[in-house]
């Protein structure tokens, strides 16, 4: 696919797919772009992996003014990369929606807060459902059944993730709420000393307990086989 | 059950997602966002450039509001757009909506369609994102039911009574009572959900000689825009086991041929 061509239906179709799915794996994204290219740019050669990044950059140039961005994120727990459609602006206008009730929005806040304050930022699914008791919004109270549906939705969209049967932060939350969590939970949320970004998942040095991103440490260890914090030899597995 | 490879376009807008109350303000250091393509160079005449910026700002707000309100596929009310995106200033609506429509089409491949004159809209896609097999299980089931209903209405030339529809579905072992094992709450989907999403229109008609009102169903604006009559026709024909040419009126309507034989719909689908 000649990716230096003008913005086309390949871009629009991919953007729609990102908006609809919120979070896409690389293979899902590649399949979608290939199908679109076949349909809308059949005379051009089939797109390659690298050309996906170009398409995404071209889309981002258009949607930036709406406060939107498609972000490629390396998600530690699954060791996979995801394209995430993120809404990065937060004004009262951005909160206008009719997809969720007030109680449901509050439930999400409650779940995020609980995850932030819990050690290792993981909670059991049962514990998550019990959080409906903490919802303070007015109107219809949230049933456990509805809470379960919401959690399934948020797992599907990438706001939450399942790691070893526990609920944890999903890639979309990492992109949209990193600043929020860092600002509101400074005692519970850390940043990686190597890249300065928020640390949601990571590896721990077994000598000094410093937490770092697995991907950051993998790069670092190619130069220096020591912990960047305590300088002792790094022995923790990083595969 | 016929599986259609048709052009199903789902529009689901920017899920800003439920935002917790104290989200960090605009001072958060996010990666620099590219400035919009519509930024005009500074003009000699100071006042006209500030009007442009103001207008541009409103267009952006309107686009965002349309996207946020289109998530459920429900009708988007003009009143909501004016209130949220234009700060209640209805006079500017006509001008701003034109530009917003352009942005939605150029950037996203969406078309904003007026369903009720100057009152409500729906957002449909003009780009097909893939086949029905790419959808989630939940969507696929709902669409399958929808196709059956739309197909039946189409074969009956656009207008069916609610009872006729239940009779048709009953023949396929789809009851209007309770939870269907595959489709779920069929009654709710047909009488509420699909109507709210503008796939179906449900009209009340007082029938002479009857005490209670009867309801009638037809294709809604979203069905007209998102789905192709050809695909629906072929799906029903697969279900019925007959080639589409047997249904002369419907075939002509779907394939765009001139149909002069208005009364020639003797192949009644319910007889099969």
pLDDT for res B264: 42
- Most B-contacting residue of A40, A88, A94 (CB-CB within 10 A), to test interface: A94
CA distance B55 to B51: 6
Average pLDDT (B173-198) is 91
> Could you write out the DSSP letters of every residue in A1-34?
--TTSPP-HHHHHHHHHHHHHSEEEHHHHHHHHH
Share of chain B above pLDDT 70, in %: 72
pLDDT for res A62: 96
Residue B28 touches partner A, C-beta closer than 8 Å: yes
Mean pLDDT lowest for which of A21-35, A104-118, B100-114, B118-132? B118-132
Q: Tokens 């294709």: give the residue.
A: B219
User: Sign (positive/negative) of CA torsion B133, B139, B140, B144?
Assistant: negative
Q: Hey, are the CB atoms on B108 and A15 less than 8 Å from each other? A: yes
Q: Please state, in angstroms and as integers, the Cα–Cα distance from residue B42 to each residue in A107, B49, B50, B53, B228, following that order.
A: 46, 7, 10, 11, 47
B142-165: per-residue pLDDT in tens?
888 998 899 899 888 888 999 999
* Alpha-carbon distance B170 to nearest alpha carbon in chain A (angstroms): 29
Q: Hey, are the CB atoms on B71 and A177 less than 8 Å from each other? A: no
Q: Does the structure show a pLDDT above 70 at B89?
A: yes
Residue A20 touches partner B, C-beta closer than 8 Å: yes
Share of chain A above pLDDT 90, in %: 73
- The mean pLDDT of chain B is 75
Q: Hey, are the CB atoms on A156 and B136 less than 8 Å from each other? A: yes
Taking only residues 39 to 58 of chain A, the set having a beta carbon closer than 8 angstroms to any beta carbon of chain B reads: 39-40
> Model confidence at B257, in pLDDT bands (50, 70, 90)?
low
B230, B264, B231, B270: which is closest to B249 by C-alpha?
B264
> Model confidence at B132, in pLDDT bands (50, 70, 90)?
low
* B129 → chain A, closest CA residue: A13
Q: Hey, are the CB atoms on A180 and B34 less than 8 Å from each other? A: no
Residue B207 vs residue B191, higher pLDDT: B191
* A173 → chain B, closest CA residue: B17
pLDDT for res A193: 93
Q: Please state, in angstroms and as integers, the Cα–Cα distance from residue B267 to each residue in A113, A160, B139, B181, B235, following that order.
A: 62, 53, 32, 31, 16
Average pLDDT (A151-175) is 94
Residue A136 touches partner B, C-beta closer than 8 Å: no
CA distance B121 to B10: 15
B192-248: per-residue pLDDT in tens?
999 999 999 999 887 777 767 789 999 999 999 888 877 777 777 777 777 767 777
Name the range with the highest mean pLDDT among A209-218, B104-113, B131-140, B260-269: B104-113
A186-227: per-residue pLDDT in tens?
999 999 999 999 999 989 999 998 999 998 999 999 999 999
SS3 B227: coil
Taking contacts as CB-CB distances below 8 angstroms, the residues of chain A near B71 are 97-99
> Model confidence at B46, in pLDDT bands (50, 70, 90)?
low
Average pLDDT (B114-137) is 80
Q: Six-digit token pair at B158?
A: 């656009």
pLDDT for res B134: 64
- The pTM assigned to this predicted structure is 0.81
Residue A146 touches partner B, C-beta closer than 8 Å: no
- The mean pLDDT of chain A is 91
Taking only residues 200 to 219 of chain B, the set having a beta carbon closer than 8 angstroms to any beta carbon of chain A reads: none
Name which of B14, B36, B85 is nearest A19 (Cβ-Cβ). B14
A3-54: per-residue pLDDT in tens?
456 899 999 999 999 998 899 999 999 999 999 998 898 888 888 888 899 9
């Amino acid at each position: 696919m000649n990716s230096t061509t003008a913005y086309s239906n390949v871009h629009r179709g991919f953007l729609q797919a990102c908006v609809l799915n919120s979070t896409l794996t690389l293979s899902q994204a590649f399949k979608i772009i290939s199908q679109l290219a076949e349909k809308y740019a059949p005379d051009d050669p089939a797109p390659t992996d690298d050309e996906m990044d170009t398409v995404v950059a071209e889309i981002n140039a258009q949607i930036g003014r709406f406060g939107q961005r498609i972000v490629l994120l390396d998600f530690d727990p699954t060791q996979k990369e995801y394209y995430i459609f993120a809404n990065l602006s937060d004004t009262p206008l951005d909160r206008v929606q009719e997809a969720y009730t007030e109680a449901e929005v509050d439930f999400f806040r409650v779940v995020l807060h609980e995850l932030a304050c819990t050690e290792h930022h993981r909670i059991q699914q049962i514990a998550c459902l019990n959080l409906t008791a903490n919802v303070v919004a007015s109107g219809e109270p949230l049933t456990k059944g509805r809470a379960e549906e919401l959690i399934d939705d948020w797992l599907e969209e990438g706001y939450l993730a399942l790691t070893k049967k526990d609920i944890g932060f999903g890639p979309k939350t990492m992109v949209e709420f990193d600043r929020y969590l860092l600002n509101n939970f400074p005692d519970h949320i850390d940043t990686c000393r190597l890249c300065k970004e928020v640390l949601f998942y990571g590896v721990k040095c077994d000598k000094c307990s410093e937490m770092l991103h697995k991907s950051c440490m993998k790069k670092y260890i190619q130069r220096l086989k020591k912990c960047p914090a305590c300088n002792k030899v790094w022995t923790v597995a990083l595969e | 059950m016929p599986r259609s490879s048709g052009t199903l376009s789902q529009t689901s807008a920017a899920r800003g997602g439920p935002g917790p109350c104290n989200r960090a303000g605009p001072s958060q250091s996010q990666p620099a966002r590219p400035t919009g393509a519509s930024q005009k160079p500074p003009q000699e005449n100071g006042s006209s450039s500030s009007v442009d910026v103001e207008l541009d700002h409103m267009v952006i707000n309107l686009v965002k509001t349309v996207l946020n309100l289109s998530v459920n596929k429900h009708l988007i009310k003009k009143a909501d757009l004016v209130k949220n995106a234009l700060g209640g200033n209805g006079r500017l609506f006509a001008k701003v909506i034109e530009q917003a429509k352009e942005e939605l089409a150029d950037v996203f491949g969406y078309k904003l369609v007026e369903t009720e004159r100057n009152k409500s809209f729906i957002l449909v896609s003009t780009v097909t994102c893939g086949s029905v097999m790419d959808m989630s299980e939940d969507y696929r089931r709902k669409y399958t039911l929808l196709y059956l209903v739309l197909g039946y209405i189409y074969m009956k030339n656009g207008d069916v009574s609610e009872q006729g529809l239940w009779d048709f579905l009953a023949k396929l072992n789809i009851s209007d009572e309770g939870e269907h094992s595959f489709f779920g709450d069929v009654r709710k989907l047909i009488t509420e959900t699909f109507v709210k999403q503008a796939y179906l229109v449900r009209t009340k008609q007082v029938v002479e000689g009857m005490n209670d009102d009867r309801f009638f169903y037809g294709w809604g604006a979203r069905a007209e825009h998102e789905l192709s009559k050809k695909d629906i026709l072929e799906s029903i024909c697969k279900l019925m086991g007959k080639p589409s040419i047997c249904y002369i009126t419907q075939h002509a309507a779907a394939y765009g041929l001139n149909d002069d034989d208005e009364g020639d719909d003797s192949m009644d689908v319910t007889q099969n």
